[in-house]
Amino acid sequence: MSRRKFLALLGGATVPAWVAGASAKELDYSKLHQLDAEDLAEQGMKTAYEALAADLRHHGIEPAAMAEEIDPDAPTYAVHISGRKYVVYSPEVTSNDYQSWGQATYLFFKIVNDQLAEINSKVRFYAINGGNDLGGLFLMPDDAIAARNSLPRREDWPYIPTDTAPWYGQFH
């Protein structure tokens, strides 16, 4: 008996795509950029952005200069890029370390994806996992959807981070 028939006999009204034989998309984890949300939030945005330079150029983007603004007395951490300021944390924006991790993740992916959108690229920079296991992959939207169809755990699905706590766009 096939897995699909077996699950249907168990009363499942819907059969997961990975069982039903939907188009599977394996993610190429050798191209994963290890980011770590904690590192991003602790003055690591510039270093992480600079590490993407070769891939950004591959996708038609000349990496912009990123400057960091750090005020340990406030405390405040922000980055400046392409004439815009992105506040990672400050007393007005975040109230705890967890929020700064989510905010840093959201802003980092926003910066890269905004640059891809500016050149009308169909590729986007997708987050994989979160927290200390955060990584990023450049994918076409159809490839991200196909990967979601083939990965049984929602937490493993590629996603575009949002600015909404507590999961900041990660599937659960």
Note the pLDDT tens digit of each residue in 127-144. 999 999 999 999 999 999
11: left (phi over 0), alpha (psi -120 to 50) or beta: left
What's the confidence (pLDDT) of residue 91? 86
Domains of the chain, by residue range, sit at 24-156
Does the pLDDT of residue 16 top 60, yes or no?
no
For 122-152, b/e burial (b = at least 16 CB within 10 A) is ebbbbbbbbeeebbbbbbeeebbbbbbbbbe
At which residue do the structure tokens 């009204």 appear? 13
What's the confidence (pLDDT) of residue 101? 92
Contact between 141 and 124 (Cβ < 8 Å): yes
C-alpha distances out from residue 91 to 34, 76, 88, 94, 169, Å: 28, 7, 10, 6, 23
Q: Quick: pLDDT tens for 21-66.
A: 445 568 999 999 999 999 999 999 999 999 999 999 999 999 999 9
Share of residues in the chain with pLDDT > 90 (%): 73
